Structure 1
């Protein structure tokens, strides 16, 4: 079975979450307050998903 690319997935999720975080900051400074909460939530969820991917990666390495 081919190894799952956990590292690339985790890095991509962190990059996407960081980009959403910067977008939320820019939207706040530009005065688009109604959208800030949704974009900030998406950023937090991307970082959380990256953490869960790293945990899955660690568990997969431990069992093999």
Structure 2
């Protein structure tokens, strides 16, 4: 299991946070996704045999979110 922390600009209010969590948790290989509402910090646990960091970032960006 690999831990990854990223910051998402829009993940600072309730609706985008729920959208982001739903998007991430539906993806095979993402075992855990927690979003901190104060600073947009997203903590993930990944199974790197199923998904890579670059794929996660691409998924987030294609959904219209911006990585800080």
Q: Which has the larger radius of gyration?
A: 1
Q: Scaled by the length of structure 1, what TM-score is found?
A: 0.32
Q: Scaled by the length of structure 2, what TM-score is found?
A: 0.30
